[in-house]
């Protein structure tokens, strides 16, 4: 599969990640936010990882979205174990450093299952041995990192990585750089916006979306019966929220229409893109329309309030009542705390709502709020205007 490469962006980011300026908070880690399906993970695997490796770093890549049923803490630990298994000399060093020379694995004198959280060999010891034996910094990339705080073990893994970062970034070692990415800025910010989080104060930036250069590349290789207009396609790409799959699906629809005439290509492509956009919205709305009145009420209030959502506060319970009365026509309709808890659990099971281990809730797909608003589902929801104003004030 042919991939669009963002070489210059990868080089710029790699330099900033590996060469931290004096006094910069980037040594705490770098957090990159971008909506899902906008090319972020492809960039990490195809561009940033090779660039970091060519700059001398040993890269460990962890995707917490690959298996959503696996505990994120286990996924992180297994990624470190997997990398250690590739370096026999680092295993020997770790066995010596931790006094476990008598534990055997493949003649190396160490058992990888001893690396983990809590009892046994810490992630800090494991990563330090790996970095010291390789004599180069480690760049740990965690994709969809916000998923880590959905479990206690995931949160513990983040604090273990903080300890490893502090140790490896001392003058005695070669350094550890953490790159955490996520598809929801609000969720990702929870990992570094409060003092009780492992990476408090680390910079959070918006990952640059694919732009006109991507559209030019796409148009040049679209392989349709007639060339696409770059300006028109770029406008459509922005309508599609910079999602490559929308353009690709539209092109496929035309590519296999053997009766399509060249003079029809541009107009048909325009219609196909807008059809893909509408279908992606309708897929979300189909799930929303299947909800019970209580679930729909909680979802609307959460979507309307955004970062200001506090599920069990008195004002929020009043807002539930206002919305539920509008949905059911029952002037006495209300939700109590137990009903809200049940609704939130059901919304999680339907993959509409995400919950951090400490009880903070957010939409699973941040775009859902915009889709619901465009279909009038947030009209009259108390607090919606404050969400819009907060979004406008959000830094780019």
pLDDT tens figures, 235-284: 999 999 999 999 999 999 999 898 999 999 999 999 999 999 999 889 88
Does 52 have pLDDT greater than 50? yes
pLDDT value, residue 24: 64
When the pLDDT of each residue in the chain is averaged and rounded to a whole number, the result is 89
**Antiparallel, parallel or unpaired: β 138-143 and 204-206:** unpaired
The pLDDT value given to residue 101:
52
Closest CA to 343 of 316, 366, 381: 316
* pLDDT of res. 115: 75
Question: Where does residue 11 fall: left (phi above 0), alpha (psi -120 to 50 degrees), or beta otherwise?
Answer: alpha
User: Residue 79: is its pLDDT beyond 70?
Assistant: yes
Confidence of residue 25 (pLDDT cuts 50, 70, 90): low
Which two structure tokens, joined as six digits, stand for 102?
């008598």
Asked whether the CA dihedral 262, 229, 9, 36 is positive or negative, the reply is negative
pTM passes above 0.95: no
> Which DSSP string corresponds to 364-375?
SSTHHHHHHHHT
Q: Which residue has the higher pLDDT, 370 or 201?
A: 370
Contact predicate 31/19, CB 8 Å: no
Cβ-contact 324, 334 below 8 angstroms: yes
pLDDT score of 133: 92
Question: Is the confidence at residue 33, as pLDDT, over 60?
Answer: yes
HSE toward the beta carbon, residue 287, CA cutoff 13 A: 19
Predicted pLDDT at 299? 98
pLDDT of amino acid 109 = 46
Q: Are 294 and 335 in contact (CB under 8 A)?
A: yes
Residue 358 pLDDT level (bands cut at 50, 70, 90): confident
Average pLDDT over residues 41-50: 96
- 148: exposed, middle or buried (C-beta count within 10 Å: 0-12, 13-18, 19+)? buried
Instruction: Give residue-wise pLDDT tens across range 288-318.
Output: 999 999 999 999 999 999 988 999 999 999 9
| Right CATH for 7-206 from 3.40.50.9100, 3.40.1390.10, 3.20.20.70, 3.40.50.300 | 3.40.50.300
Residue 103: which pLDDT band, with cuts at 50, 70 and 90? very low
Instruction: State mean pLDDT over 32-61.
Output: 95
The separation between CA 141 and the C-alpha centre of its own chain, rounded to angstroms, equals 12
Q: What percent of the chain has pLDDT over 90?
A: 67
pLDDT at residue 384 greater than cutoff 80: no
Which of 98-107, 157-166, 186-195 has the lowest average pLDDT? Answer: 98-107
Does the pLDDT of residue 327 top 60, yes or no?
A: yes
Q: Which residue has the tokens 């956009």?
A: 277
pLDDT of the residue at 105: 45
Question: According to the model, what pLDDT value does residue 230 have?
Answer: 98
Candidates 331, 330, 311; CA nearest to 319 is 311
């Amino acid at each position: 599969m042919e991939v669009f490469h963002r070489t210059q962006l990868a080089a710029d980011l790699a330099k900033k990640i590996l060469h931290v300026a004096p006094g910069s908070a980037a040594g705490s880690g770098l957090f990159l936010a971008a909506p899902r399906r906008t090319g972020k993970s492809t960039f990490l695997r195809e561009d940033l990882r090779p660039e970091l490796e060519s700059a001398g770093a040993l890269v460990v890549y962890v995707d917490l979205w690959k298996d959503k049923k696996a505990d994120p803490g286990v996924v992180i630990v297994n990624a470190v174990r997997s990398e250690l298994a590739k370096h026999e000399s680092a295993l020997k060093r770790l066995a010596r450093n931790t006094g476990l020379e008598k534990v055997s694995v493949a003649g190396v004198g160490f058992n990888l299952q001893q690396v983990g959280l809590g009892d046994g060999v810490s992630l800090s010891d494991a990563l330090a041995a790996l970095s010291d034996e390789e004599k180069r910094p480690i760049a740990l990339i965690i994709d969809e990192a916000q998923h880590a705080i959905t479990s206690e073990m995931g949160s513990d893994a983040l604090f273990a990585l903080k300890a490893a970062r502090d140790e490896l970034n001392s003058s005695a070692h070669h350094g550890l750089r953490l790159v955490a990415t996520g598809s929801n800025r609000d969720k990702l910010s929870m990992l570094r916006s409060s003092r009780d989080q492992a990476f408090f104060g680390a910079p959070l930036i918006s990952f640059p979306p694919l732009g006109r250069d991507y559209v030019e590349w796409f148009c040049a290789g679209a392989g349709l019966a007639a060339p696409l207009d770059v300006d028109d396609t770029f406008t459509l790409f922005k309508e599609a929220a910079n999602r490559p799959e929308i353009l690709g699906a539209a092109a496929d629809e035309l590519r296999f229409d053997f009766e399509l005439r060249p003079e029809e290509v541009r107009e048909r492509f325009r219609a196909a893109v807008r059809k893909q956009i509408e279908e992606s919205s309708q897929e979300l709305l189909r799930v929303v329309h299947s909800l019970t009145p209580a679930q729909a009420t909680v979802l609307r209030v959460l979507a309307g309030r955004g970062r200001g959502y506090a599920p069990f506060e008195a004002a929020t319970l009043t807002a539930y009542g206002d919305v539920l009365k509008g949905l059911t026509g029952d002037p006495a309709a209300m939700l109590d705390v137990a009903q809200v808890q049940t609704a939130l659990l059901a919304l999680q099971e339907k993959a509409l709502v995400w919950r951090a281990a400490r009880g903070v809730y957010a939409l699973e797909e941040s775009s859902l709020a915009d889709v619901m608003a465009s279909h009038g589902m947030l009209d009259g929801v108390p607090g919606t205007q404050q969400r819009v104003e907060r979004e406008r004030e959000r830094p780019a």
